[in-house]
Structure 1
Amino acid sequence: MRSGALLALFLAGSLGATSPGLAEDAPAPLRVCADPNNAPFSKQDGSGFENAIARLVAEELRRPLDYVWWAQRRGFIRNTLKAGICDVVIGAPAHHYDMALRTRPYYRSTYVAVTRADRHLDITDLHDPSLKSLTIGVHLIGDDGANPPPAHALAQLGVVNNVKGYPIYGDYRQDSPPQRLIEAVAKGEVDVAFAWGPMAGPVAKASPVPLRIQNLEGEEAFAPLEFTFEIAMAVSRDNLPLRRELQRVLDRRGGDIRALLEQAGVPLLPFRRPSLEIVAQPGGADAKQAE
């Protein structure tokens, strides 16, 4: 999955206001790059689960928290971390993402099927024969082939005529455009949606219409497509000191961060490599940047 499919990558934003009244010897603010209109991840009102994680990290580092607000479109790393206008991205792909320096992953999630609870559908595999007769919703990213894995997998299976695409960028004048896909399930526009779990889970949890979330299985049949991903924090490639500080926070407060994710409704999977899992214990050693 390209970084655009996970982060919906960012474009055209404005610099957040810095904290007033800081003394000259006060610690520098932790400047977080985030989209002000991208629930459930981040919102300008601070209600996103990545906002909550950012607050925890800043408190642990004893630094004021500031935001650089930047709409999620392409060019995010170039215009933010590489431009030096912010310090950290709270959620970034942990692997195959060489534009930034990453911490070890602090959670792992997957793509999911979203259905209305009152439909009593049981869909966990894209090979499910019922998909041929259901209306399916998927996110679409662009015309360059960089669509999410479920869209490619369905095309491989020849399931195309009953698939509706919902632009992940959407109309930015609306509230959190990527949510339209999950709302389409609640409204009955589609029977099932296939979406990235950390986006779908919290939106479904908050839905006034009860929705069902089921993790997709059988992804090995679509290799080299990947459906599960590990998420890390990202800093600029020359900011190894901050990367080490963030890793120490993740080592100390991993349990608290996991609790925030679970409370938000993010579907979590165990790490495939247990040695990389963040645990809630003090004194976690720095790891080499292996990704």
Structure 2
Amino acid sequence: MRSRVSSLFVLAMSALPLSVLAAKPDTLRVCADPNNMPFSNQAEEGFENKLAGMVAKQFGKAVSYTWWAQRRGFIRQTLKAGVCDLVMGIPAGYDLVETTRPYYRSTYVFVSQAARHLQLDAIDDPQLRRLTIGVHLIGADGNNTPPAHALGRQGIVDNVRGFMIYGDYREPDPPARLIEAVENGEIDIAAAWGPLAGYAAKRSGVPLTVTPIIASEQFSPQQFQFEIAMGVRKGDHALRDGLNDFIDEHGAEIRTLLQDYGVPLVEHRHSSAGEHR
């Protein structure tokens, strides 16, 4: 068995390009989505791009990107394939990678036009039964966002509009279609991941209200808040520990960066559980 595993390993390594086998020591190799603002894009305008630049500067390195759409198979095609060493935004405790300590915690939010004055923050608010609600859908296998699950558990289905989080990748920032539907009045309210919603609200030509979602006890342990960390390959403790030191030393700068992008921040908890955004 050991001989067979070794042979498979050699064959796999021989198939990798030379650039993967011999990463430059002066380069921080990052894998990121080229079309997923406010997190990252190929123009390096996202807050994860800015954060990668801060990390590289601390390490005395330059950032080198491998671009890959952040959807199912992302980790397998990037970190596990050896084409990069770091992913900037990973749910804390995500079991496919080695994660750092969280560098921020955010929440799902409701987004509505400010002119509507909906004053709605609870996922079981009776108003939701008469409003057109937009949610992100991840796939047809039931692996959807917490708001989508919570609404379904209450039987709120007929007035819910689903927007595929992957969307049409030929368009800029596909997940943003959900927030745009609020702006143009296509839906009354959206339940969205906070960083996306907060960034869109700051840039919107239509004043938007962004309100953290409150979960009542009936949805426990349903979570709407998640801690986000950086991810490295399992076993890469040296890089993980260096990143943890960076997070400890630059907490205030990281917080300012996130606030500049409109990310709703909530206090960290002592939990490492998370869900992929």
Same fold per superposition (TM over 0.5): yes
Residues 1:51 and 2:46 are matched in the alignment: no
- Count, aligned residues: 251
Q: In the alignment, is the contact (CA less than 8 A) between 1:116 and 1:210 conserved in 2?
A: yes
Q: 1:273 aligns with which of 267, 270, 275?
A: 270
Q: 2:222 aligns with which of 214, 222, 225?
A: 225
Q: Counterpart of 2:83? A: 85
The alignment's C-alpha RMSD in Å is 1.7
Q: Counterpart of 2:69? A: 71
Structure 1 runs of 4+ off > 4 angstroms? none
Q: Counterpart of 1:4? A: none
Residues 1:186 and 2:186 are matched in the alignment: no
Q: In the alignment, is the contact (CA less than 8 A) between 1:219 and 1:227 conserved in 2?
A: no
Deviation at residue 205 of structure 1 after TM alignment: 1.1
What one-letter code is carried by the residue in structure 2 that aligns with 1:145? Answer: G
Paired residue secondary structure (1:184):
helix
Deviation at residue 27 of structure 1 after TM alignment: 4.0
TM-score between the two structures when normalised by the length of structure 2: 0.87
What one-letter code is carried by the residue in structure 2 that aligns with 1:63? Answer: K
Q: In the alignment, is the contact (CA less than 8 A) between 1:115 and 1:121 conserved in 2?
A: yes
Q: Counterpart of 1:234? A: 231
Q: Counterpart of 1:132? A: 129
Q: In the alignment, is the contact (CA less than 8 A) between 1:103 and 1:243 conserved in 2?
A: yes
CA distance, structure 2, for counterparts of residue 254 and residue 90 of structure 1: 15
Deviation at residue 166 of structure 1 after TM alignment: 0.3
Q: 2:256 aligns with which of 237, 252, 259?
A: 259
Residues 1:174 and 2:171 are matched in the alignment: yes
CA distance, structure 2, for counterparts of residue 219 and residue 166 of structure 1: 25
CA distance, structure 2, for counterparts of residue 79 and residue 209 of structure 1: 39
Residues 1:159 and 2:156 are matched in the alignment: yes
Paired residue secondary structure (2:250):
helix
**Deviation string, structure 1 residues 96-146 (Cα, Å, up to 9, x no partner):** x11100101111111000000111111100111111111000000101100
Q: 1:249 aligns with which of 246, 251, 256?
A: 246
Residue identity (%): 56
CA distance, structure 1, for counterparts of residue 230 and residue 169 of structure 2: 25
Residues 1:109 and 2:106 are matched in the alignment: yes
**Structure 2 unmatched ranges of 5 or more:** 1-18, 273-277
TM-score between the two structures when normalised by the length of structure 1: 0.83
CA distance, structure 2, for counterparts of residue 49 and residue 154 of structure 1: 30
Deviation at residue 219 of structure 1 after TM alignment: 4.7
What one-letter code is carried by the residue in structure 2 that aligns with 1:151? Answer: A
**Structure 1 unmatched ranges of 5 or more:** 1-17, 19-25, 277-291
Q: In the alignment, is the contact (CA less than 8 A) between 1:110 and 1:215 conserved in 2?
A: yes
